[in-house]
Structure 1
Amino acid sequence: MAERTRQNNGNGKHVWRGIVIAILAVIVLAAFISSRKGEVPVRVDHVTKQDLITTISTNGKVEPMENFEAHAPAPTTVRKIYVREGQRVRQGELLMQLDDADARAQAARALAQTKAAEADQHAIQSGGTQEEVLNTRSELVKAQAERDSAQKNYDAVQKLAQTGAAAPAEVREAASRLTAAQAQLKVLQDKQQDRYSRPEVNRVEAQVEQARASYTAAQDLLKHSEIRAPFEGTVYSIPIKQGEYVQQGELLIQLANLRRVQVRAFVDEPELGKLAVNQPVTVSWDALPGKIWRGEISQMPYTITTYGTRNVGQVLCAVDNEDSRLLPNINVTVNVSIANKKDVVTIAREALHEDENGRYVYVIRNGHLERQTVEAGIANNTRIEIMNGVQPGEVIALNSMNAGTPLRPGLEVRAR
């Protein structure tokens, strides 16, 4: 009996000891929780050192720097297409053949008209056709002989008249004959030298020029019926099909050298003052995520234009495109690097505050916020350079996670 009593007393002591420990734990926990109620949870950032690049980002459009477009020289049919879109071609390679039957017929007609007009021009310059020239020469010889005979007869009659052997009527008749012979000779001489009037000469010369122009145009039409690559490049557009009938001026094919392209970037007016020729640019395309093309600004804008609701300057950028993946007319994102610093102290941009006293941050020291004046430098979309005021490794408060408790100096905080 005494033994049982001692065991019961021992068990009771253990129970009471456990109860006391549990009570003490509850008290300690309550004290800890009570002490934490005054701390405001905040989002934080760490001051770090890194390379910082400042960029201006905008939209742009790809354009070929060396471009060729072929248009239909006349209404015709596309006889044969030898290439496909995306195909690289050599300089001089045949791209497309148009039906040239009409062009050949026009060239033949124009050539015939040219020869006929040139023959008329030669006839004018030589005094007529060969037959007419020979006839005129023959008549001129006869007229000269008649003039010479009339002159001798007139001289002889005059001598006879001086001796009374010839009557005055005979002298007048001999003089009339000489005058008629001289007049006929003069007509033939004028006919040989100036057979055609100036208006007639001008008309024939105009016909020659028109015929030659028609032949040149026909030859040019025939030449353009065969479309060849003027330089090495990539065929990027063929808007027509083989066998299709096309109208004069209709676009047939587009070719460009895509190894280096031009990107037209639409930069908002306030940002233009930060840009200059030769500043580096990067280009990205949503269709190829992660792919970056590099280049530089080649030309600044000369005027401001309206682009949708924006006032922009159209900045031209020369971009390397060795893989030819950037295609003409696609829309891209352009980033222009306007500043690049190595190994600078940075913080998150949202950690920087500003009031009438200047720029500052909230540094967490011993669990409390301290206002620290800072001097800021360049920035990108997420980070900003701090030139003095904080050191790498320090913890900076970004914002309060308690909507009713804004950040202020001396606030007791807890980093989250």
Structure 2
Amino acid sequence: MATAVRFLRPPEILLKKRKILLVFLIAVAALASWVYLKRNQPPTVTFAKARRETLVSTLPTNGKIEPLEYAAVRGDTAGLVVKLPVKEGQKVAKGSILAVLNAPELQSQSSAAQARVEQAKGELANIERGGKRAELADIESNLERARLDRGAAQRDYSALKRLEEKQAATHEDVLSAHGKLRQAELEIEALERKRAALVGSSDRAVAQARLREAEADADLARRKISDTMIRSPIDGVVYSLPIRLGSYLNIGDPVADVGVLDRLRVRVYVDEPELGRVARDLPVTITWEAMPGKQWQGVVEKMPTKIQALGTRQVGEVLCTIQNPGHELVPGTNVNAEVRSSVVPNALTIPKEALHRDASGVVGVYVLDSDVIHWHNVRVGSSSISRAQIVEGVVDGAAVALPTDFPVHDGEKVEAAYR
């Protein structure tokens, strides 16, 4: 029969296990106590106090700069740009040369016209000495050719007009075609006047008419040569200069935009729901992202006459006038605009983010009373970007709750923290 042997553990090991168990039980009790206290601790809510101040109500939006007074200069004759004595941003006086064109054919026309003047003078001198009558057949032949030219010019002009309506031709092309048509008509008128002067008239009267016509042609040629020197029609600043030295300019091509930049117009885009806050003569502040910290002041000049789409927005275009003494802003610049719609002195204000709407849409705030929050219905007046005027529902110095990450309820106990 085997003998049973029992191994007894040393007392130290048993004591150690009891200590570990005791520590574990203490930790569990502490955790349970912390959870209990945490569950019953009121949530922390940040508050801000209502205060009195001068509230400036502004309407921020965007806009675009336009000139109040300007002239779009275009070429009246074609030619190569051989001189460009101005540059963008330069101030010019009325009559200053903006560009000079080289048009050799105009000089040839002027020389030919002057030669016809001399020829007409010689014919008149011959007639006065007993010379001969001009041939009507030559005039009739020229008239026939001119009428054919007019017919071709009319067809070209009509075709280009139709293409322009379909946006398949430029307005400058139409203007050029119209100029050619008018030139053909003027030539026919001149020939018919010449024929009328010859038929039934003396050779002397015909020669005098030819001389007057030749002198008119020479004068026209001189004016065309003068048109190769393109001048500014007004005093102002060259804010756009699309042509370049050595480029070819066609009739009607843009040469420069000259405008008065001391005062500018801003076309401000105001969203339709906000238009009720805008009125004539309200102050406007303009800022430009390219020049941080710089501001331009002006006033509302004209209210919009219609609502139109601007991307995804429905806006009214409010016209404002601003001062631009340094000429930093130029037409076409996209800017930020802030219309000051009202100024309320001694207004009771709170942060706008403290405002809430209940399930029925009523606007209100949570106000701290001791350590409990209560819902107060409020009536809101004017507002700025960050603060709102409270007309009714909150007293001066009241603590209003700011937004939290968790829902709060009327009558709930909270722990207050202040911003």
TM category (shorter chain) comes to 0.5 to 0.7
Equivalence for 1:185: none
Q: 1:349 to 1:67 in 2, by over 3 A?
A: same
Q: Using the alignment, how far apart are the partners of 1:86 and 1:298 within structure 2?
A: 27
Equivalence for 2:412: 411
Consecutive unaligned residues of structure 1, counting only runs of 5 or more, are 1-22, 136-193
Q: Using the alignment, how far apart are the partners of 1:266 and 1:206 within structure 2?
A: 62
Equivalence for 2:383: 379
Q: Using the alignment, how far apart are the partners of 1:134 and 1:244 within structure 2?
A: 50
Q: Is it true that 1:322 corresponds to 2:320 in the alignment?
A: no
Which stretch shows the higher mean deviation, 93-102 or 213-222?
A: 213-222
Q: 1:227 to 1:74 in 2, by over 3 A?
A: closer
Q: Using the alignment, how far apart are the partners of 1:273 and 1:415 within structure 2?
A: 39
Percent identical pairs in the alignment equals 33
Describe the SS at the equivalent of 2:224: helix
Describe the SS at the equivalent of 1:259: strand
Equivalence for 2:393: 389
Q: How does 1:130-141 map to 2 (within 5 A)?
A: 130-131=128-129
Q: How does 1:64-75 map to 2 (within 5 A)?
A: 64-75=67-78
Q: 1:342 aligns with which of 340, 345, 349?
A: 345
| CA shift for structure 1 position 53 | 2.1
Equivalence for 2:152: none
Q: 1:369 to 1:248 in 2, by over 3 A?
A: same
TM value normalised by structure 1? 0.65
Q: Deviations over 1:236-278 (max 9, x none)?
A: 2222222222222222222222111111122223333432322
**Contact conserved, 1:62 with 1:263, CA < 8 A, in 2?**
yes
Q: Is it true that 1:52 corresponds to 2:55 in the alignment?
A: yes
Q: Using the alignment, how far apart are the partners of 2:210 and 2:57 within structure 1?
A: 70
Equivalence for 1:260: 263
Q: How does 1:152-301 map to 2 (within 5 A)?
A: 196-197=199-200, 217-301=220-304
Q: Using the alignment, how far apart are the partners of 2:211 and 2:386 within structure 1?
A: 76
TM value normalised by structure 2? 0.65
Equivalence for 2:364: 360
Question: Size of the alignment, in residue pairs?
Answer: 322
Describe the SS at the equivalent of 1:301: coil
Q: 1:222 to 1:297 in 2, by over 3 A?
A: farther
**Contact conserved, 2:78 with 2:103, CA < 8 A, in 1?**
no
Describe the SS at the equivalent of 2:402: strand
Q: 2:37 aligns with which of 26, 34, 39?
A: 34
| CA shift for structure 1 position 227 | 2.8
Describe the SS at the equivalent of 1:257: strand
Q: 1:134 to 1:364 in 2, by over 3 A?
A: closer
Q: Deviations over 1:43-71 (max 9, x none)?
A: 32221222222222222111122223322
Which stretch shows the higher mean deviation, 87-96 or 210-219?
A: 210-219
| CA shift for structure 1 position 410 | 1.2
**Contact conserved, 2:352 with 2:386, CA < 8 A, in 1?**
yes
Consecutive unaligned residues of structure 2, counting only runs of 5 or more, are 1-25, 134-196
**Contact conserved, 1:399 with 1:407, CA < 8 A, in 2?**
no
Q: CA RMSD in A?
A: 3.9
Q: Deviations over 1:288-311 (max 9, x none)?
A: 112111111222233333322333
